[in-house]
Amino acid sequence: MANQARPLRAASPAAPEWRIAAAPVDYAEAVRAMEQRVEAIREGRAGELVWLVEHPPVYTAGTSADPAELLDPRGIPVHRTGRGGRFTYHGPGQRVVYAMLDLRRRGQDVRGFVRGLEDWAILTLARFGVKGERREGRVGIWVARGNTGDQGKEDKIAAIGVRVRGWVTFHGMAINVDPDLAAFAGIVPCGVSDPRFGVTSLRALGVDATMDEVDKALKETFARAFRS
């Protein structure tokens, strides 16, 4: 696994292993590490893993990405990847959650897995007093803007993009804790160009949460989201 990682705490036999990358992980290196772990899970050589990372600044293009949605990369590397979805940005201050789960143990329900990721983000955000919501036709988790005159305007706070190989999942979701939100201007995030919809973070919402606090919330809400 890329970088030395420190465990949150010992996992119970029924729970996934948890790791937190001790330093930012190159995106391509992370994908290689996930693919190796997925193969090991499929072959019974390793158990499930939840891997929490940050990346150096990078734009990633999913399998549905439209090249026209890369507006101005501004020197930020662009990586085409096999996850579902379109363009997104990863960078410092964003908690990227890679969930390598064995759906053979979890009902072989890909839509249920994606809904579990959505529930997980919503439950985690609720720990910080933020009401995250899913929206029909728009991937990810959204928060309504609270300012007068902003009715109908919403910002994405968590992105979701997954891949499944042999019923084992990888990639996952990214929660904006305190990233550089200006970097999202270089792309059409997740293909949503409607000016009513933007991107936000916990910090932009006035929540002074540390990454460790977000990680703790993720750990504590996992079982409820996935009923494990």
Residues labelled as active-site residues: 190
DSSP state of 191: G
- CATH, range 5-64+74-226: 3.30.930.10
**Cα–Cα distance measured from residue 157 to residue 27, given in angstroms and rounded to the nearest whole number:** 20
For residue 19, name the pLDDT band (cuts at 50, 70, 90): very high
**Sequence-separated (6 or more) residues with CB below 8 Å from residue 21:** 2, 3, 5, 51, 52, 53, 54
For the chain, domain boundaries: 5-64+74-226
What is the pTM for the complete model shown? 0.89
Question: What mean pLDDT do residues 201-224 have?
Answer: 97
| CA–CA gap between residue 100 and residue 146 (Å, rounded) | 35
- Residues 116-149 have pLDDT tens digits of 999 999 999 999 999 999 998 888 999 998 664 5
pLDDT of residue 15: 86
pLDDT for residue 13 is more than 50:
no
> Average pLDDT, stretch 187-212?
90
